[in-house]
Amino acid sequence: MKSSVIELKNVWKTYTMGEAVVHALQGLSLAIRPGEFVAIMGPSGSGKSTCVNMVGCLDLPTSGTVLLDGQDISHLHESELARIRGKKIGFVFQTFNLIGTLTALENVALPMIFQRIPLQKRMEKGKQLLTLVGLSDRANHTPGELSGGQRQRVAIARALANDPEVILADEPTGNLDSATGEKIIQFLRQLHREQHKTIVLVTHDQKLAKMADRIIHIKDGKVQG
């Protein structure tokens, strides 16, 4: 088995704002092993969001190395990065990021378009995934016709569309009440347990973070402890 699916080695991320230079990450190093359920925590301004962007291959470092499945992606062009990201990582966001004019089924099937999967297979897989998250009876409903918890389950189904190895859930319970949020985390744990998905959970909630196997604390652009 490979030792890590995502690894950051001495990663720096520097932003220049006028005459000010901000070091969002300062030599950050971490490794996430296949099949782990990891929570990332940190106060506002800690560099946590920048770290998440690196883990999710949404941004490139100023210096240092980012490895995805052992491949150095630190200097790839955005088009190549997007292609790799689309296959390897599924994203779940706080604001759901569903397209309001599409049905739940169409939202779930959308990522498969970019992997050039034929329409019939997209629809079949989309229906399977909605069944998996308990929403087969909501396939033809638009996001506006769904509750917050249902919308987040559609977003999880969409994240699974291309069978990624890693699910990156960025504050997935932030817009949900505590009971619904806990159900969403329990469902992510189920995916981790039954489908052996690597789950990276970003949360401010210590209670939810404790449901992960390991907690990574970020402060001042570095891993603490």
Neighbouring CB atoms inside 10 A of 45's CB total 12
Contacts of 90 (CB under 8 A, 6+ apart): 111, 158, 159, 160, 161, 162, 164, 166, 167, 168
pLDDT per residue, tens digit, the chain (225 aa), is: 578 999 999 999 999 988 899 999 999 999 999 999 999 999 888 988 899 889 888 888 999 999 998 889 888 888 888 888 888 999 998 899 999 999 999 999 999 998 889 999 999 999 999 999 999 999 999 999 999 999 999 999 999 999 999 999 998 998 899 889 888 988 999 999 998 999 999 988 888 899 899 999 999 999 996
Contacts of 136 (CB under 8 A, 6+ apart): 127, 130
Helix (H, G, I), strand (E, B) or coil at 143: helix
Q: Could you give the domains of the chain? A: 6-224 (3.40.50.300)
Closest CA to 168 of 47, 23, 36, 61: 36
